[in-house]
Structure 1
Amino acid sequence: MFTVADRKRVRDLLLARARADEAVVGAAYTGSLATGNEDRWSDTDLVLSVRGDDVTETLERWSRWFYAELDARHHWDLSAPPAVIRVFLLPGWLELDVTFTPEANFGPRGPQWQTLFGRTRPIQPFAPPDANTLIGLLWHHALHARVCIQRERWWQAQHWIGEMRAHVVELACARLGHPTSHAKGAHLLPDELTARLEATLVTELTAPELNRALAEALSLVTAELRQSAPELATRLGPMLEELLEGQS
């Protein structure tokens, strides 16, 4: 694995290149590095402000440099129009998430931002997860888990139960004001809740075990709804209980 010294060396190279590139008019750190919360394992999140409206030429030129000078092994993209987030893997499992954004879109969307140079613009913050959508996904996944158990599709059933667990984490984190994406706030949840989440883990692909895990997940969903959306808990609770009837 990479060392802290490896990570610092690459960051220094990135910033030196950004300052020397006439097409790059700003740079900022995001993520844990921007707030002083990084640890020995943190990756690097860098935003580059690109002159003009089109980042394509700069994006591809920088990508060639990553492979030629930093020995990148792979990359993939997250689309975030008008920006592109290109995620690079370097030797030693050093991950670099580099956002290339037009200069008019260069600015913080939340508190995890540290401007290194360049002019920032006021940008709309990221919208929080929609609770109604999360609740819809929960009953959808619960139904499909139940059906998959009946069809003896064990792997698919455990998939849906796992998705239920992930959305309960997201809904609870949103309610408590913790980070919601990728379970980043899960470690901040109360012990009582995480203990119930643990009970939803599937330990073997058998009908009895899947039924047990689904029952735990349904109970947890109902409990979370009572806190996040009491009216929906009253409306959906009896229907969720119906999914436990006739388990085989």
Structure 2
Amino acid sequence: MNKEIRDAAEAVADIPDGASLAVGGFGLSGIPDVLIGALYAQGATGLEVVSNNCGVDGRGLGVLLAAGRIARVTGSYVGENKEFARQYLNGELEVELTPQGTLAERLRAGGAGIPAFYTPAGVGTQVARGGLPWRYAAGGGSVAVASPPKETRDFSGRPYVLEHGITTDFALVRAWRGDRHGNLVFRRAAANFNPLAAMAGRVTVAEVEELVEPGELSPEEIHLPGIYVQRVVRLTAEEASDKPIEKRTVRS
């Protein structure tokens, strides 16, 4: 039951080239930055990433992206990252854009063993009709790979589109508190995608700001039970306090 791993390097050492990864966080809030850094040092490439966004230039998943180590991204937001846009428009990166709520539910469904579900999001758009450019031809311009059309069906007179659940080889997440059994608590905005990403991974690795002994967390405060988590990494005080802000705003 003790899922604590010595350090982040050991926790990601067996992630191979071409692996699929669900990565938690929203913008730069709650991103598993230490695990991402360890994966960068480890050297895996050709990664297929599922995440709300792909970090920013020079931080988060943006580090792996700039190194050419990400081959495909499934996400809902691509702003704040010029290198992402450059690679996508030049045919170097495959991108599947998904409505944000749909992405969240696809991760949750995959973790719950639900293969597919119907949603009204995207009905009447290219999300349902197909034709969204997943990959451009090398050098940009023409579309090399386009999204396929999706099944639609009426329920009570309203159309819905079929979306598939997502499961990945690994998941990388960050938690505020956790125990050695893998039970996790997320704080504020970090709760947006981390629990869902953790559910979707076949092997989920969590970096934890504060690691406590089993029994110290009351059942009522646990957001994600340890059944979904296979590896836990205890962060140092310095790592836990390093929380970047995309756009710092202060009063004039």
Q: Aligning the two structures, in what range does the TM-score lie when normalised by the shorter sequence?
A: under 0.3
Q: Which has the higher strand share?
A: 2
Task: Flag the structure with larger Rg.
Answer: 1
TM-score (normalised: structure 2): 0.21
TM-score (normalised: structure 1): 0.22
Q: Which has the higher helix share?
A: 1
